[in-house]
């Protein structure tokens, strides 16, 4: 064979490998409105930055000519590339090869890029589109999943892990994304579940379709499994690029800063009147956040799950922070089980990756009710405490209005380790609201009075004046400073700059046991 022939052989092999399961199956993928694995990578990564690895891996280990899928990569395209100039490792399941199903060699390919990502301190991104365990490979495919799950766990908090669900992700296969930091889904296009509609019908008699069982809508609003959803694959891939812009490449780096595009001393006087004088009236915390952070920098995560809690990334003077808040216009900003899970998970992510936390507090407390108690609000709520108390990143809190009882303590309060604590003049920091408090501590006085209603109103007003101001908390040193709302941006930027190098040592231990 001449040199030209050997080169031609490589060119032909590459061509075959790039076609995956062949033109017919690619056309089928397109008919479903889906891109192929390689098309997706081309959109996700910076132009021409992708370098493939192990593209000739055969269907069976070391066997050539096993079947039509010989040497086409075993249903997954793996390699590395760049996103906005920063290196990432990627794998994209190729549905045109045996439905992207996972067997031993596919697992080996995925594990290899996961190992490279961890060793080189770069994020690992998985594009998932797969029929699950490759049926023909039996227990070898289960073994393969276990190898991936182990790496997902060991690399958790070491490098960011992001999963994009771009087709089916069913059965135990869903546990790999579940172990990663962010799950991105595409509406009416991707689904995740442990047991499918047929099995459910057989076992429980319930009838449900794919979308209503595990589509993006379900996981974004009901289960809380997904972090972000998009209307198209293109949008989802673009969300992934944006998300990475807020996150460092590994746990030894600081989060990225970009050139500031907003005035650090910008004063938005609308903030000074945003909180209604009537404490029972809601306002919009999203608006508060947008007015305080760098313009257009707020990137919300899980925006439609437990909407009374807000988590997301933003920038102050160009640098990334994690934002946690309550939304008083949704369920009055109460903390329930779902809000606890949402907040605690996000706080732990930010802490693992050195992202400072800025918390806006307005909550009347934990949601009362038999259902919440029986479902374990105690252990779920404790997760928020655990996450904040454990977090060693710079932490700032701003109480905008209510911070009652447990809600005050868990939401980044001073004595669970928050560095700088601000309150707006509208802040009400107390064990509970005026009505509840007066009914308990002054019941006898109210009942004994000639006009109980008038007495109650009088006592409520007294309580409000005495306790429901930020000054009682300021006098006790519970907050550091009462600030005008319009000063918040400049104060937070200044505080972040002085606490960014903070060093904290917790007692040595193997690991704590976070409530789950």
Is the CB of 131 or the CB of 224 nearer to ligand HXC?
131
> Of 501, 479, 506, 481, whose CA–CA distance to 491 is shortest?
481
Using CB under 6 A, which of 173, 244, 275, 339 touches ligand HXC? 173
* Beta carbon nearer to ligand HXC, 145 or 182: 145
Closer by beta carbon to ligand HXC, 21 or else 81: 21
Helix (H) or strand (E) holding 403: strand 395-404
User: Tokens 């934002």 appear where?
Assistant: 323
Helix (H) or strand (E) holding 407: helix 405-410
Among 81, 171, 224, 312, the active-site one is 171
Select from 63, 65, 57, 47 the least CA-distant residue to 17: 57
- Which residue is it, tokens 């609308």? 270
Q: What are phi and psi of 375, to 5 degrees?
A: -85, -5
Examine residue 25 and tell whether it contacts ligand HXC (CB under 6 A): yes
**142 near ligand HXC, rule: CB under 6 A:** yes
Does the annotation mark 171 as catalytic? yes
Q: Which stretch binds ligand HXC (CB under 6 A): 83-91, 164-172, 248-256, 485-493?
A: 164-172
- Determine which one of 157, 172, 217, 417 is catalytic: 172
Catalytic, 37? Answer no
Q: Are strands 299-301 and 319-326 parallel, antiparallel or unpaired?
A: unpaired
Find out whether 187 and 229 touch, Cβ atoms under 8 Å. yes
Catalytic residue selected from 22, 406, 417, 436? 406
Structure tokens at 385: 């405490």
**Helix H segments across 155-302?**
175-179, 197-204, 210-214, 216-221, 233-244, 285-292
Alpha carbon of 370 to those of 240, 338, 374: distances in Å? 39, 15, 6
Q: Single out the segment in contact with ligand HXC by CB under 6 A; choices: 97-105, 155-163, 200-208, 417-425.
A: 97-105
Q: Which of 20, 131, 215, 255 binds ligand HXC (CB under 6 A)?
A: 131
Q: Which region among 96-104, 361-369, 415-423, 495-503 touches ligand HXC (by CB under 6 A)?
A: 96-104
**Is 226 in the active site?**
no
For tokens 């990756």, what's the residue? 353
260 φ/ψ angles, rounded to the nearest 5 degrees: -60, 135
User: In terms of CB distance, is 196 or 260 closer to ligand HXC?
Assistant: 196
Question: Binding residue for ligand HXC (CB under 6 A) from 20, 160, 168, 433?
Answer: 168
| Shortest reach from residue 144's CB to ligand HXC, in Å | 8
Query: How would you classify the pairing of strands 357-363 and 319-326?
Result: parallel
Please pick, among 407, 434, 473, 495, the residue that the annotation labels catalytic. 407
Q: Phi first, then psi: give them for residue 19, nearest 5 degrees.
A: -80, -5
406 has catalytic annotation: yes
* Between 101 and 163, CB nearer to ligand HXC: 101
Contact footprint for ligand HXC (CB under 6 A): 25, 98-99, 101, 131-135, 142, 145, 168, 170-173
Catalytic positions, please? Answer: 171-172, 406-407
């Amino acid at each position: 064979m001449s040199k030209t022939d050997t080169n031609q052989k490589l060119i032909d092999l590459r061509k075959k490998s790039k076609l995956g399961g062949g033109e017919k199956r690619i056309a089928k993928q397109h008919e479903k409105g889906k891109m192929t694995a390689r098309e997706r990578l081309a959109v996700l990564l910076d132009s021409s930055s992708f370098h493939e690895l192990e593209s000739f891996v055969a269907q069976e280990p070391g066997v050539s000519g096993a079947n039509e899928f010989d040497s086409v990569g075993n249903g997954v395209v793996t390699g590395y590339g760049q996103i906005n100039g920063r290196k990432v490792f990627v794998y994209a399941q190729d549905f045109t090869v045996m439905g992207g199903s996972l067997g031993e060699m596919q697992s080996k390919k995925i594990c290899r890029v996961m190992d490279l990502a961890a060793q080189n301190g770069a994020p690992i991104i998985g594009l998932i589109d797969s029929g699950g365990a490759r049926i023909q490979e039996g227990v070898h495919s289960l073994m393969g999943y276990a190898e991936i799950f182990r790496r997902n766990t060991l690399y958790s908090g070491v490098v960011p892990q992001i999963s994009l669900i771009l087709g089916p992700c069913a059965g135990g296969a869903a546990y790999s994304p579940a172990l990663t930091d962010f799950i991105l889904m595409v509406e009416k296009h991707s689904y995740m579940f442990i047991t499918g509609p047929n099995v459910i019908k057989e076992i429980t008699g319930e009838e449900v379709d794919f979308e209503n069982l595990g589509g993006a809508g379900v996981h974004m609003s009901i289960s809380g499994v997904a972090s972000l959803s998009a209307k198209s694959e293109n949008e989802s891939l673009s969300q992934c690029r944006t998300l990475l812009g807020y996150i460092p490449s590994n746990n030894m780096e600081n989060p990225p800063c970009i050139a500031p595009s907003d005035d650090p001393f910008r004063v938005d006087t609308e903030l000074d009147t945003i909180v209604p004088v009537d404490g029972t009236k809601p306002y919009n915390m999203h608006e508060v956040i947008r007015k305080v952070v760098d313009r257009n920098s707020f990137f919300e995560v899980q925006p439609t799950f437990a909407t009374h809690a807000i988590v997301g990334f933003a920038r102050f003077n160009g640098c990334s922070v994690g934002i946690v808040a309550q939304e008083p216009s949704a369920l009055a900003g109460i903390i329930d089980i779902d809000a606890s899970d949402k907040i605690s998970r996000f706080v732990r992510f930010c802490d693992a990756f050195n992202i400072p936390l800025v918390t806006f507090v307005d909550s009347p407390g934990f949601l009362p009710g038999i259902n919440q108690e029986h479902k374990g609000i105690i252990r779920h709520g404790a997760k928020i405490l655990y996450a904040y108390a454990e977090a060693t990143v710079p932490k700032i809190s701003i109480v905008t209005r209510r911070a009652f009882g447990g809600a005050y303590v868990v939401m980044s309060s001073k004595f669970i380790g928050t560095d700088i604590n601000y309150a707006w003049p509208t802040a009400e920091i107390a064990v509970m609201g005026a009505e509840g408090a007066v009914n308990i501590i002054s019941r006898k006085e109210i009942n004994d009075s000639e006009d109980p209603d008038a007495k109650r109103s009088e006592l409520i007003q007294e309580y409000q004046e005495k306790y429901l101001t930020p000054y009682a908390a300021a006098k006790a040193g519970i907050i550091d400073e009462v600030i005008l709302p319009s000063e918040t941006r400049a104060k937070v930027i200044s505080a972040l700059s002085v606490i960014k190098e903070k060093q904290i040592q917790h007692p040595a231990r193997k690991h704590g046991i976070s409530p789950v």
